[in-house]
Structure 1
């Protein structure tokens, strides 16, 4: 067997192992971690299929009656899922399978990338084997989210850009086209991918120098094709979106946090602590303790790649994103873009070890045994990090499905709980709100807009912390008084007799201070309404 065929066989075996690992949880409801993000993604896919089959109009299930357009990245995974929904019906597993396919394909791309960068088949196979068991890549490859697709396209784009810069001297239009198109799709797939511009730029500067980089028309064309469609898409979606998530989070949280860190010593210290927490997430649920240790060593070994600048630029871009964004939005999958880089660093370590100690057959066998044991250790330790993520509440799922079968079809609801996955499973549109913050005035407004049910998912918290709303809702009958999630029928035609009189009496008692100690006494106190 030729070395090339042997490499591809080994890489495909790594991909097969990764595929087996990633199959866990494929049939689970979207209640596993992170249910709130998967709930949004699944809702957008279903709304593409059933309401508006247009990728420029993503909409969620909440914030009132539809349409509820949101400002988000180009919804590649939801739109592909919606296309399958139109052919075979709405089944969330299609969304998981799309991510799954992108996740397994990334293993192969990482292997080919490592082989090319380090001129070593060993580096490529080791990188593919490492990526197959990095816990973050392993887990998130089965979730109904856009991140795995983004990582796939970003990895492909950086691979294509590396080949264009190194092999094409930055002037080949033939190699330019796949690099530019992949970079464009990566940017559209999720904005975090724009950090890939940093390794591309550093690789070009290292290869051609400043003057050679800025005088190449292909470089300007590359970034134009990557950034302009993203800007145009964002402008289109922002023009009709009600929820401005990306720009809103950036303006209200990310930029003020960064400005504070640059102008205030206490804020700088707080951001440094948050950055440490981000790195801890990278070292645990994303790269895993074994993976992060091997990756750090891999960056330290004296093995030159075809573009060291690209690797260091990738690291710098990822860490910069972590410092600016992940210190504010503290979710581990925002660090996903660093995982292919970690796998490549592990590949470089394997290639260096083989060059340094593996010439004689007995040594090669010893190194192979060490590599196998290390891989198994990484697998076991990594799984321990992500095992809790697979858990989901069967009780909540059954309750949500029961409401789907019970409530009037197409009814607008108010759900007293923040969790798009539950609202998605109830299969109704309306509002999801914190029962502590929602007021009778908010509820009246929702009723005037058509809300016909209030689903009290956090009923105990509602009664304990928002007695005013709890007693105001008492004017409406319950669908099932014995239900764990009481559902009030908020149709104005169903208001109980004497409800307004009881409400005014409650307000008088409240103003007189009758409920000052309610938080402490609510479990034993008589019904206040």
Structure 2
């Protein structure tokens, strides 16, 4: 029985060559990439004050400090722990380091440069998902996978959002694509390149480990080259350990992540609360599947689990489930970009669903007369997917739970809106304070501090007190920035600015 389930010869590693002879496929892929690029240019020069701008500001601050202070990828700094240097335990700063290099070439800091780096990583990820899907299902199905990554609203937005998630996905997908190329062609170059990209992906952001779940199955059904397996395990672990050791030795501030805080205790004490299932289902529906792709994904799951593809898709789903459990519902509700790691699998499931259209093609020519039955079947299949998806998109407001609809999570266009107050306050602070002044800003995120181009501190209004203020003063704070109309509870020279803040001299 074990041999029947895990017979390596049945996985179908040989690439499906159907559709390769179509002269239109390269043009379609090129057009798709061009459309993807145009979509990602929306707001390319908008300052980091849109959706999840606090995360973008963090990454942009590291790039700024590489550019202005110390061009050393092993010495990342943040701007909200007081006076520099503010070395912190952060993920490997490949994205901000590349950005800082481009700043040097351009001659200054520019938002469009920073966002363009993420856009290019995104375009690369589309090419990689095309390669992966083509390996299993052929040209037309792989175009469907590329189509999903190119036009997926969540992926499009975060493909121009300045944070390391999309670069991590692009590196991981490139690693998987090159591993499959090695398995198909036996090229050591592809094996080494795949190992290199996956190592970088894990360094850039640890959730890249999720992509090892399908990789392990692909290796199991290959020749089981133990040298390759050792390399794909050793190098990510070794380089990650070396980087952590290097940064830990000089960092004044420990690494903090919503993935790790209290997870073990929460799981032991509470288990998996019922709310987790609801929150994850809501997030998957709107941010990963989207209403338009729900039906193709379900069909793709059915087709995958009725073929040998389930042997690597199921472990991939298990890895994603473990990741969502680790994150917890509170984090997933606040940080929609945690769902990004599931979108490549969605693209492949859509490819699996649409791979049915390959059935009426011949290796050398189209056999129209002998294939009318298959052609009719394929046309009906496409109409079913298109009509069903249209029905879901236009009816989900009626049958979804009402609390799922709170906040209008389907309004992806709202993510591009800019918080003008943050920009105005930051610009004013840059104008009226000296470059060396340290600021203590009472607000929930470090966005204003970033846009002021100053070092300092930020603190939640509910946590602010005299003790914290005195400690900041002792460390060199020059001004308290109070982001409320009511005067701050501190006696000192204070001035109200029409941008919406009080500036208090605390020296």
TM score, norm. by length of structure 1? 0.80
Instruction: Tell me, yes or no, if structure 1 residue 41 matches structure 2 residue 47.
Output: no
Q: Secondary structure at the match of 2:463?
A: coil
Residue 421 of structure 2 corresponds to 395
Q: Does the 8 Å contact 1:166/1:207 carry over to 2?
A: no
How much does 1:150 deviate? 0.5
Structure 2: distance between partners of 1:227 and 1:269? 29
How much does 1:394 deviate? 1.7
Q: Does the 8 Å contact 1:69/1:243 carry over to 2?
A: yes
Residue 242 of structure 1 corresponds to 252
Structure 2: distance between partners of 1:185 and 1:488? 45
Structure 1: distance between partners of 2:150 and 2:390? 11
Instruction: Tell me, yes or no, if structure 1 residue 282 matches structure 2 residue 284.
Output: yes
Structure 1: distance between partners of 2:286 and 2:183? 34
Structure 2: distance between partners of 1:355 and 1:318? 31
How much does 1:477 deviate? 1.1
Tell me which of 102, 123, 132 is aligned to 2:150: 132
Tell me which of 234, 238, 248 is aligned to 1:228: 238
Tell me which of 280, 291, 294 is aligned to 2:293: 291
Structure 2: distance between partners of 1:235 and 1:104? 33
Q: Does the 8 Å contact 1:117/1:305 carry over to 2?
A: no
Structure 2: distance between partners of 1:203 and 1:293? 27
Tell me which of 351, 354, 360 is aligned to 2:355: 351
Tell me which of 470, 473, 478 is aligned to 2:494: 478
Q: Does the 8 Å contact 1:147/1:333 carry over to 2?
A: yes
C-alpha change, 1:479 and 1:408, in structure 2 (3 Å) is: farther
How much does 1:350 deviate? 0.6
Instruction: Tell me, yes or no, if structure 1 residue 114 matches structure 2 residue 114.
Output: no
Q: Secondary structure at the match of 1:26?
A: coil
Q: Secondary structure at the match of 2:439?
A: strand
Residue 498 of structure 1 corresponds to none
How much does 1:9 deviate? 1.5
How much does 1:293 deviate? 3.3
Q: Secondary structure at the match of 2:462?
A: coil
RMSD between aligned residues: 3.0
Residue 338 of structure 1 corresponds to 342
Residue 318 of structure 1 corresponds to 320
Deviations 1:173-223 (A, max 9, x none): 444212211111111121100122222222223446xxxx4x723211221
Q: Does the 8 Å contact 1:459/1:485 carry over to 2?
A: yes
Instruction: Tell me, yes or no, if structure 1 residue 83 matches structure 2 residue 101.
Output: yes
Structure 1: distance between partners of 2:216 and 2:194? 13
Tell me which of 117, 120, 135 is aligned to 1:101: 120
Deviations 1:275-308 (A, max 9, x none): 4312321220233122243223202115887864
Q: Does the 8 Å contact 1:117/1:306 carry over to 2?
A: no
Q: Does the 8 Å contact 2:258/2:327 carry over to 1?
A: no
Segments of 5+ residues of structure 2 without an aligned counterpart are 1-18, 362-367, 397-407
Q: Does the 8 Å contact 2:51/2:415 carry over to 1?
A: yes
Moved more, 366-375 or 12-21: 366-375
C-alpha change, 1:239 and 1:376, in structure 2 (3 Å) is: farther
How much does 1:368 deviate? 6.5
How much does 1:459 deviate? 4.7
Structure 2: distance between partners of 1:151 and 1:165? 21
Q: Secondary structure at the match of 2:194?
A: helix
Correspondences of 1:98-497 after superposition (within 5 Å): 98-118=117-137, 120-165=138-183, 167-168=185-186, 173-207=188-222, 213=224, 216-246=226-256, 249=258, 251-260=260-269, 267-270=270-273, 272-301=274-303, 308-327=310-329, 329-330=331-332, 331-355=335-359, 359-360=371-372, 384-460=410-486, 470-471=488-489, 473-474=490-491, 476-480=492-496, 484-491=500-507
C-alpha change, 1:398 and 1:151, in structure 2 (3 Å) is: same
Structure 2: distance between partners of 1:20 and 1:81? 21
Residue 509 of structure 1 corresponds to none
Tell me which of 74, 77, 81 is aligned to 2:92: 74
Q: Does the 8 Å contact 2:300/2:351 carry over to 1?
A: yes
Moved more, 138-147 or 125-134: 125-134
Structure 2: distance between partners of 1:321 and 1:184? 19
Structure 2: distance between partners of 1:355 and 1:370? 17
C-alpha change, 1:78 and 1:377, in structure 2 (3 Å) is: farther
C-alpha change, 1:353 and 1:109, in structure 2 (3 Å) is: same
How much does 1:483 deviate? 5.6
Q: Does the 8 Å contact 2:260/2:326 carry over to 1?
A: no
Q: Does the 8 Å contact 2:425/2:448 carry over to 1?
A: no
Count of residues paired in the alignment: 464
Q: Secondary structure at the match of 2:504?
A: strand
TM score, norm. by length of structure 2? 0.83
Moved more, 274-283 or 187-196: 274-283
Q: Secondary structure at the match of 2:248?
A: helix
Structure 1: distance between partners of 2:304 and 2:280? 28
Residue 520 of structure 1 corresponds to none
Q: Does the 8 Å contact 2:149/2:155 carry over to 1?
A: yes
Structure 2: distance between partners of 1:141 and 1:376? 26
Larger radius of gyration, structure 1 or 2? 1
C-alpha change, 1:231 and 1:385, in structure 2 (3 Å) is: farther
Instruction: Tell me, yes or no, if structure 1 residue 26 matches structure 2 residue 44.
Output: yes
Which protein is richer in helix relative to its size? 1
Structure 1: distance between partners of 2:328 and 2:497? 43
How much does 1:230 deviate? 1.3
